[in-house]
Amino acid sequence: MEGELKNFIRLWVLTMTSLSYCFFIAAKIPKGLPRLLSLLPVITLLSILPFNIYSIHLGAPLVFCLSWHCNFKLLLFAFDQGPLSPPPPEAHLFILTACSLFKIKQASLKTKNGEIPSKENDSKFPSMILETTNKATLLVLLFFSYNYKQYFHKHVLLILYFLLTYLAIQVFLVMLAIPAQILLGVELEPQFNAPLLATSLQDFWGRRWNLRVSDTLRSTIYNPLRSISTRIIGSRWASLPAVFATFVTSGLMHELIYYHIIRENPTWEVTWFFVLQGIFVDIEIVLKKKLVATDKFQLHRAISGPLALAIIAVTAGWLSYTQLLRNGIDEKIIKEFNVFLKFLKGSA
């Protein structure tokens, strides 16, 4: 545990030093290829650093935040795009923007500038803490339930794994959002938008699940490729290759996270999961344009929503969670959780 904490501290020292270089030096270099070349050493370093952390609970989120999210922001920054352009006025704000997974609500930003009152934002903050506490409690109960996993059917375990993933991501992001809101004095956009209420695959992936990742992928992959595709095949079908390439990119980045977790040669199963999602979403787009837009046929949302969730659940169980179970990652997660509890008791 102490060795991991030392690696964790060293990682953040190197990360803040590298991002300070981006703010003070790389930002002064002309945009385009020259700035991109100046940022490549930082992008390479941020891709490697999280792999010195062997704990799943620390390392996997760092791969997600730094190797994926932060690096994609830096790629946009190289061309004067994204949330880092124009650079914030101070270095610490630049570093916070680069590393964070948050998006400030515009109404909340106006509130901070004195344009509208902040009572609404203040009333939402306690409810967010209460909601997070409830989810964290449920997450802990799920962790404890895994100590009795031999009594669960394998399909029940897959459902529990999905709930654990959903709750763990939400709790992790909100635990970061609460101090960010306190320090910045603003309200942040939600990370999820009731994904279980999705009416289609497009709705789930584009407007409900992990919205900040959707924003990043939309800026770095989807929008540029759609613009190129429009000039080649026209605007009607330009979204199809852009959507597919976005899902392939997401699959490769998830493969990087899985590599950190499993520490074995990639099997590409999680990449294939996202490739399939890209194919399914493209099929959905074609059907909507051919049938729904012409009023020939349309599924009721009471059918299309559960059908979309079933497709995601079946393919995730087949290609994503099964890989984790096969490599005993569930047992490693529970072991880490129990070690962490013992560490807290020892510290107390």
For the segment 215-223, the average pLDDT, to the nearest whole number, is: 93
Peptide bond into 86 cis (omega under 30): yes
**Mean pLDDT across the chain, nearest whole number?**
84
Tokens matching residue 21:
């270089």
Output the CA torsion 225→226→230→231 (10° steps). -20
For the segment 116-130, the average pLDDT, to the nearest whole number, is: 55
Which of 222, 193, 189 is CA-nearest to residue 207?
193
pTM given for the model: 0.85
Q: 329-347 and 119-145 helices cross at what angle (nearest 10)? A: 110
Contact 262, 332 (CB under 8 A): no
pLDDT band for 275, please (50, 70, 90 cuts). Answer: very high
Examine the pLDDT at 156 and tell me if it is beyond 90.
Answer: no
131 DSSP assignment: H
pLDDT band for 78, please (50, 70, 90 cuts). Answer: very high
More confident residue, 51 or 3: 51
Please tell me the distance from the alpha carbon of residue 80 to that of residue 87, in angstroms, as a whole number.
9
Q: List, in order, residues 6 or more apart from 157 with CB less than 8 Å away.
A: 149, 325, 330
Tokens matching residue 251:
């699959």
Q: How many CB atoms lie within 10 A of CB 35?
A: 20
Please tell me the distance from the alpha carbon of residue 242 to that of residue 221, in angstroms, as a whole number.
7
Tokens matching residue 210:
């992990």
The predicted structure's pLDDT at residue 72? 96
Return the CA Rg of the chain. 21
Q: What is the pLDDT of residues 26-48, one digit of tens each?
A: 999 999 999 999 999 999 999 99
Q: What is the pLDDT of residues 242-261, one digit of tens each?
A: 999 999 999 999 999 999 99
Please tell me the distance from the alpha carbon of residue 261 to that of residue 63, in angstroms, as a whole number.
10
Query: What are the helix (H) ranges across the chain?
Result: 2-24, 33-48, 56-62, 71-78, 91-99, 106-112, 119-145, 154-184, 201-207, 211-217, 223-233, 239-262, 269-287, 301-316, 322-326, 329-347
Q: Is 44 helix (H, G, I), strand (E, B) or coil?
A: helix
Q: List, in order, residues 6 or more apart from 252 with CB less than 8 Å away.
A: 271
Q: List, in order, residues 6 or more apart from 309 with CB less than 8 Å away.
A: 196, 198, 204
Please tell me the distance from the alpha carbon of residue 116 to that of residue 248, in angstroms, as a whole number.
42
